[in-house]
Amino acid sequence: MDGFFNTIQALLEPVVNLGALFMIFVVFTLIGLIVRLGPVRAIRNGLMIAVGFQGVYIIVDFFLAGVGPAATALTERFGGVFTYTDIGWGAYAAFAFGHPIAYAVIAISLAVNLLLIVTNLTDTLNLNIWDTWEATICALIMLALTNNVLASLIVAAGWCWVNLMVTDWYANKGYPEKFYGFKNIAFYQGFNVWWGMFAHAVSSLLDKLPFTSSAKFTPEYVQKRFGAIGEPAVLGGIIGLLMGIGAGFWWGDIVMLMIKLATALVLLPMMSGIVMQALVPVSEAAAAFMQARTKGKQLFIGVDPAIAVGHTSVLATTALMVPVMILWAFIIPGTLSVPLADLPALLFFWVFAAAPNKGDMLRTFITTILMGGLATVTGIFVAPWADAVAKLQGVEGVTGATSTFLYFCQDMLVTGFLGENFQTIGIGGVLAAMVVIAAIGTAFRLRYNVQKRRSAALAATAD
């Protein structure tokens, strides 16, 4: 098994170490060549997509750097003693790719994706290889708890399987295209997309309540109703002002926080626009290529949802949820950590909540409050397993290490329970559990395929 890992690592580690931007450029350029865009256009689009993502990452880092100190100050101001310290998702991504099993997980994810496309169980060709770090952390949780490599790989394969199907569901609902404007695009980011299903369910409930039934409190509505207050720059400034006051900042620091949030709200959509413009010819050519060879099969290109976090409702929700997440940590009994390093980065979950709520900031805020509460409860169980992964990679401190980001990944919760009970259920129990989870996802997908065929037949009859 070590020889297998070493071979996979030797092949993939140099590419992964070059980072997400390198993979984005190479993969999208290759796809452009495959779908016959021509060498010049393929390279040009690959470069522009990488440029756009680089812009998104720079502005997101700028946003996180601005909100981070305010979040830390809010946490320290409220006080509290906790068993584990939130060291951030970035540390866990490093733990993931720092272990040889990560490269086996990448190979498995690619194989699973191709298998599902061939068998018509997914419409998504996932190019967001970087975010396999989440499935790798699941594998490392299982490895830390059981020291069983096979069980770890089974878990990773199972989550890669069902996460693709949920990614399909979100894309087929039209959220990336109708709300964010990305045609033939799916947002793939591990388990994060499952919160899109949760937000869809909450949105359906809010549709039945009188005070939330109509989506009115959108950035566009606020701007129309209240003028300049609804503009991204002003909205960012107001949120920065409130956060700075809550954190007890000096007035000069408050002004700088206002500027940073306003900057992020203005520039992120511009960077996303660059990605969108470059993605259009690639996604359209890829869709036409697949339809010509697979009897009209639809194809979504799976990308990082970072391209959508610049929406005003997402960034506004991110800032508003900072004090809420801290509050959840203090009022839910048994909480083992307070959100810290990951507080600003939770926008990668809120991005899936905004579209089902049609950008209504009140409805999105209600949805994310519920998401935050559920994740905080999940963290009571996940925190020790997250610390076990850190120790597996040789990281130990005065307190245990954890990541609030992982609390939102319910696959970590299921994996941890399987690992905790491994002595009882054995490798067969782990396999059975993942087969059941994959089977449920597959059943929903097959049901969708039947409905799609019926709709096509009815449309043909009508013609």
- Residue 370 pLDDT > 90: yes
For residue 11, being part of any structural domain is answered with: no
Compute the distance between CA of residue 140 and CA of residue 385 in angstroms, rounded to an integer. 9
Q: How far is CA 324 from CA 36, 62, 181, 243, in A?
A: 49, 22, 29, 12
Helix (H) / strand (E) element for 401: namely: strand 400-402
Q: What is the mean pLDDT of the chain?
A: 82
Q: Which of 291-305, 311-325, 327-341, 361-375 has the highest mean pLDDT?
A: 361-375
Q: What is the DSSP code string of 119-147?
A: TTS--EEE--GGGGHHHHHHHHHHHHHH-
Residues 111-138: what's their mean pLDDT?
Answer: 87
How sure is the predictor about 194, in pLDDT bands with cuts at 50, 70 and 90?
very high
For residue 460, being part of any structural domain is answered with: no
Between residues 232 and 105, the one the model is more confident about: 105
- Residue 371 pLDDT > 90: yes
Between residues 63 and 48, the one the model is more confident about: 48
Angle formed by the axes of helices 39-78 and 232-247, nearest 10°: 30
For residue 462, being part of any structural domain is answered with: no
For residue 132, being part of any structural domain is answered with: yes
Count of beta carbons in the 10 Å neighbourhood of residue 384: 16
* Farthest CA pair distance, the chain: 70
Q: How far is CA 20 from CA 30, 105, 257, 326, 427, in A?
A: 15, 16, 29, 31, 34
Name which of 360, 288, 302, 381 is nearest 129 in CA terms: 302
Least confident of 57-71, 224-238, 319-333, 373-387: 224-238
- Residue 416 pLDDT > 90: yes
Beta strands in 80-195 (DSSP E): 84-86, 124-126, 185-187
Q: How far is CA 148 from CA 101, 141, 142, 434, in A?
A: 12, 11, 7, 16
Count of beta carbons in the 10 Å neighbourhood of residue 253: 15
**Tally of domains within the chain:** 1
Compute the distance between CA of residue 349 and CA of residue 371 in angstroms, rounded to an integer. 9
pLDDT of residue 78: 60
Q: What is the DSSP code string of 330-387?
A: HHSTT------TTTGGGHHHHHHHHTTTTT-HHHHHHHHHHHHHHHHHHHHHHHHHHH
pLDDT of residue 9: 58
Length of the chain: 463
- Residue 20 pLDDT > 80: no
Compute the distance between CA of residue 15 and CA of residue 42 in angstroms, rounded to an integer. 20
- Residue 4 pLDDT > 70: no
What letter would DSSP give residue 227? Answer: G
For residue 30, being part of any structural domain is answered with: yes
pLDDT of residue 136: 93
- Residue 86 pLDDT > 90: no
pLDDT of residue 444: 86
For residue 461, being part of any structural domain is answered with: no
pLDDT of residue 100: 81
Q: What SS3 class is residue 184?
A: coil
- Residue 8 pLDDT > 80: no
pLDDT of residue 82: 67
Who contacts 116 (Cβ-Cβ below 8 Å, separation ≥6)?
A: 122, 161, 164, 165
The percentage of residues in the chain with a pLDDT greater than 70, rounded to a whole number, is 80
- Residue 215 pLDDT > 70: no
Helix (H) / strand (E) element for 302: namely: strand 300-303
For residue 149, being part of any structural domain is answered with: yes
**Residue 314 structural domain:** 2-6+20-452
pLDDT of residue 182: 85
For residue 395, being part of any structural domain is answered with: yes
Compute the distance between CA of residue 427 and CA of residue 159 in angstroms, rounded to an integer. 16
How sure is the predictor about 388, in pLDDT bands with cuts at 50, 70 and 90?
very high
Name which of 40, 75, 22, 352 is nearest 195 in CA terms: 352
Q: How far is CA 297 from CA 162, 173, 285, 288, in A?
A: 20, 16, 13, 9
Name which of 62, 235, 161 is nearest 411 in CA terms: 161
Say if CB 126 and CB 113 are below 8 A apart. Answer: yes
Between residues 330 and 459, the one the model is more confident about: 330
pLDDT of residue 337: 83
How sure is the predictor about 44, in pLDDT bands with cuts at 50, 70 and 90?
confident
Between residues 377 and 221, the one the model is more confident about: 377
| 243-270: pLDDT as tens digits | 788 777 888 888 888 888 788 777 766 7
Q: What SS3 class is residue 187?
A: strand
Name the phi and psi angles at 33, rounded to 5.
-70, -40
| 322-347: pLDDT as tens digits | 888 888 988 998 888 878 778 777 88
- Residue 173 pLDDT > 70: yes
| 102-124: pLDDT as tens digits | 888 888 988 999 899 888 888 88
- Residue 205 pLDDT > 80: yes
